[in-house]
Amino acid sequence: MAKTTIGKVLFTREQIEQRAKEIAAEIDKDYEGEDLILLGTLKGSVPWLVDIMKYMKNDFKLDFISASSYGSSTSSSGVVKIKFDPDINMYNSHILVVEDIVDSGNTLKYLMNKLADRGPKSVKVCTMLNKESRRTADFHADYVGFEVEDLFVVGYGLDYDQRLRGLPYISYLEEEDVEAL
């Protein structure tokens, strides 16, 4: 019999979309009448970003950035590498970084400092998952989809070595799940 899910499901597509709808309403309220740039972090944030965008009523600009501290590992290396830098003018705009997961906080703290140098009115973060238990940097996300324990999560944009991003839910992998891949 074929396995219908990978790992142990934490959040279903319906739960994720409902939370995105709620957060989109908060963002609309907070940035009404303001110049807002949604800055999606590649590659993991794309499904969450799309959900946020489709429920937003206010207009916004869109761009992407790619920074990582994971590589092929299940835990952060602590070394941040920017792989793709946006070229949109951020001066005097509000920047909302849309992230898949905040783990140690090191990558986002680094990004926030780099983005602040571009002269925006504000830089905030909207994350699908917040893993407070792994935080090593002094960092706080402004909009949080879900809190998650210290688990290795995949699906809905989150990957294990560039795999499992397309799962229509978020699950976590235990060691035996990783070994079976």
Catalytic annotation present for 87: no
Strand order, beta sheet including 8-11: 8-11, 170-173, 152-154
Q: Among the options 103, 142, 159, 161, which is catalytic?
A: 103
Element (H, E) at 112: helix 106-116
**What is each CA distance from 66 to 34, 75, 107, 133, 179, in whole angstroms?**
25, 17, 10, 24, 28
Helices and strands: H and E segment counts in the chain: 4, 9
User: Which residues are designated catalytic?
Assistant: 103
